[in-house]
Amino acid sequence: MVAEEKRRFAKTALTVAALGVVFGDIGTSPIYTIQTVFNPADPHPVPVSPENVYGIASLIFWSVTLIVTIAYVGLILRADNEGEGGIMALLTLVGKKTAAGRPRTKMVLVSLGIFGASLFFGDSMITPAISVLSAVEGLRVAAPPLAAFVIPITIVIIIILFSFQRFGTAAVARLFGPVMVVWFVAIGALGIGGIARDPEILLALSPTYAIAFAVSNPSVAFFALAAVVLAITGAEALFADLGHFGRLPIARAWLILVFPTCILSYFGQAALVLDDPAAIDGPFFLLIPGPLQFPMVILATAATVIASQAVITGAFSVARQAVQLGYLPRLRIEHTSARTIGQIYVPLINWILLIAVIVLVLSFRESSALAYAFGMAVTGTILITTTLYLYYARKAWRAPLWLVVVGGGALLLVEAFFFAANLTKITHGAWLPLAIAVVAFLILTTWYRGREIVTAEREEEEGSLDTFLESLHDHIMPVVRAPGTAVYLNRGSATTPLAMQATVRHLGSLSQNVIILSIETAQTPTVPDSERVSPDSLRHTDDGIILVRARFGFMERPDVPATLALLDPEGLEIPVDLDNASYFLSTIDLHRGNAPGFARWRKVLFIATSRGAADAAQYFNLPPDRTILMGSRIEI
């Protein structure tokens, strides 16, 4: 009985924690969605009329139901890579299922996935700006004398938010989870109060109203989609943050609390607009009774800070996966939880996002102006994620072709309409996420291609490990063997570590016992300790040199000393002293050269990107006092 109570409490606690990290973005969309749809300053405004209000309410309900509830919560969250989600994890799954004989298909799918991840980085910049700004703008209703301080207050809040990231997701979830419970209960209650003004608004739950709106006003309905999409912003964050909490807590939180209360808020605002069309200036805050407006602005601000948290943690997860899959250089990644490997902090990404968010707030100054940019990032990412998911469902789960074509095609058609509607906002701000995505895409693909070129040149310079060991054995290269154990880190097992070559050729010495540690990244998020490390035989092991293979998942930070500690010293072919071993790292000094197949500007971008790489010794958790770096110059 006690054990059952503990399990029930743990389940509830995890669900509340998920509310504090995952649902802030989509849960604060009611603040600005209805207002943006009917905004008279919109380049394609929707006139306020009973028919249009009913149509928009119905359109919001069915958009959220189809894309978030059915597509993401019901389907896409199941496509996890050993518990990890996000578009990079999905891309890895798709890559595994793409036939080796279809390189063109794989190239197209990989390019789509990388561009989707790039769009998500754009979303991570826009979400904090629009979310926090929209909440603080509530001061114009609750406390008009403070209206002039909206921008400064927004920037201060954003700085505090990003400064808090180093404490980790767990700390954030404990603080934000209960706040979000209050938030959702509050917006649901206010929504019920609004519905009481005109209960007939509930008729809009029928899809006939959305269909009638689209049929009677096709052009108006099409342009309205660019604002309606704001109701589903945050759907991708559900997937990106999957590794933090798991599918079931996310699904429970959505179905039990988030979905119903958000819909109540939307319908309450729609009923208010029916009762008083002038309320369109701020239906969310005007739905609040006067004495509660200022406290609600404070709560809304807290909720929008949490909204930003969802995409920030998602950006950290996507960045780490990109590092491990070879699309970004090694970044400094801090694990903020001893229990959950998915809870991380990436300082470089954090500060880049902070600077970008502040620039956006100062540039756009109004949440309604940012709304035009917001939808493009969201719809593009959702469309690409669904495409990859359908391909994976067909290849991995053998989903019937007719179901993929009919069901998946219908879903893609809906998402394509949303995307097309946002294309009409290109000149009004939608260019921004596309520009961010193009820059991110170029960085990711340039690093991947540049890394391939550098690896090829490095392997040529390293030469064959067998040949090198043969020359040592036959005393072609005279070497003094010093007492002790040396560990040379290597990217593979076929070539000689550059640091090992330098030690022999320039210093004429080598430790008595040598471990060549071949580090490999698996196409899975994690690797169990039982499969982590394995010694491998080399020719002339009697020379005191062995090869050890270490495998890490693409969501893990390699910890070399802890990995070597998993070895059984008695099972090795040479005596090693790991407690006092010296670690040798090979470093590369990159310079622009005449390497073919790589444009001049991409070489400059590749070298510039490499400057952001984390210290290798720190990345592999090597002891500073026993680590030696030996460099080599490579031109690309």
Give the pLDDT means over successive 10-residue stretches in the chain (636 positions): 63 77 84 88 85 95 95 90 81 76 79 87 85 84 82 91 75 73 94 94 95 92 90 84 81 94 96 91 88 87 77 81 85 66 77 92 84 82 92 90 92 93 85 89 91 82 82 79 90 83 85 89 80 76 82 82 86 83 85 78 87 82 88 76
CA gap 419, 422 in Å, rounded: 5
Task: Give me the CATH code for the 463-635 domain, please.
Answer: 3.40.50
DSSP 126-156: HHHHHHHHHHHTTHHHH-GGGGGGHHHHHHH
- Asked if residue 375 lies in contact with residue 43, where contact means CB atoms within 8 angstroms, the answer is no
Reported as type and span, the H/E element at residue 309 is: helix 290-324
Please report the pLDDT score of residue 262 as a whole number: 96
Please report the pLDDT score of residue 323 as a whole number: 86
Q: What are the boundaries of each domain within the chain?
A: 11-429, 463-635
Backbone angles phi, psi at 288, to 5 degrees: -90, 130
pTM of the predicted model as reported, rounded to 2 decimal places: 0.78
- Asked if residue 354 lies in contact with residue 162, where contact means CB atoms within 8 angstroms, the answer is yes
The tokens describing 29, both together, are: 């969309």
The tokens describing 608, both together, are: 């510039």
- Asked if residue 337 lies in contact with residue 170, where contact means CB atoms within 8 angstroms, the answer is yes
CATH of the structural domain 11-429, one choice from 1.20.1740.10, 3.50.50.60, 1.10.357.10, 3.20.20.70: 1.20.1740.10
Please report the pLDDT score of residue 420 as a whole number: 92
Upper half-sphere CA count for residue 295 (Cβ side, 13 Å): 9
Pairing of strands 533-536, 344-345: unpaired
Q: Cα 605 to the chain's mean position, in Å?
A: 23
